Amino acid sequence: MVGPKATGSVGRISERIGRYVNHDDGLVRFVSLWLVVASVFTAAWILSYYLLPQEILRGGNPAAAADYAGSVSREFLTLFGWNVAVSLIAITANTFRSVNTPLGYVIQVIQASRYGAIWGTGSLAIGTSERIAPSLAVLVERSGPMEITAFVAIVVATRSVMLWHQESGPR
């Protein structure tokens, strides 16, 4: 049973995270959101590695269903196009805001959990169908962490692009 004190501490943690990811200073926002996204990615990676069957998410990514494009340049353009499309979706999502948090931030957290699960289950589009064992060494060898960092930078940089703002939280 969760008592009021437990709920209150979760609320305080949520408030503190919200204060940092919505800070006036862009660098504070970037580092804070990156830490949240990296934590979610890592948790999803570890949990999926140990709990989910191998390649279970293979069909969930349109790029994963495609065969190798036949050349390095075509493969690069395919992945580049995919990343541009995801970036545009994140920027578009940033035009909507609930209380202080842009929707693009939420999308990055969701995308990080999905991407971590793809790594953990070996459901990557290119390269291998083997699971990627959770390890710090893997993070510097692969391009995924740089992609995630770029997406976080994009949503933090486009935070002010807003069309609709819900002033109060959900009821």
Structure confidence by residue, pLDDT tens digits, 114-142:
888 888 887 765 555 567 778 787 777 77
Residue 65 burial (10 A CB sphere; 0-12, 13-18, 19+)? exposed
Residue 171, in any domain of the structure:
no
Query: What average pLDDT does range 51-72 have in this prediction?
Result: 63
Q: What is the pTM of this model?
A: 0.77
pLDDT of res. 170:
61
Residue 98, in any domain of the structure:
yes
Residue 114, in any domain of the structure:
yes
Q: What is the DSSP string of 56-117?
A: TTGGGSHHHHSPP-SSHHHHHHHHHHHHHHHHHHHHHHTTEEETTEEHHHHHHHHHHHHHHH
pLDDT of res. 156:
92
Tokens of 68: 């190798």
Between these two residues, 13 and 128, which has the higher pLDDT value?
13
Query: What average pLDDT does range 76-90 have in this prediction?
Result: 86
Domain encompassing residue 80: 4-166
Residue 85 burial (10 A CB sphere; 0-12, 13-18, 19+)? exposed
Please determine, for residue 6, whether its predicted confidence score (pLDDT) is greater than 60.
no
Residue 133, in any domain of the structure:
yes
Residue 162, in any domain of the structure:
yes
Please determine, for residue 161, whether its predicted confidence score (pLDDT) is greater than 50.
yes
Residue in the structure block whose two tokens are 């933090």: 156
Residue 138, in any domain of the structure:
yes
Please determine, for residue 4, whether its predicted confidence score (pLDDT) is greater than 70.
no
How many structural domains does the chain have? 1
Tokens of 13: 């943690």
Residue 67, in any domain of the structure:
yes
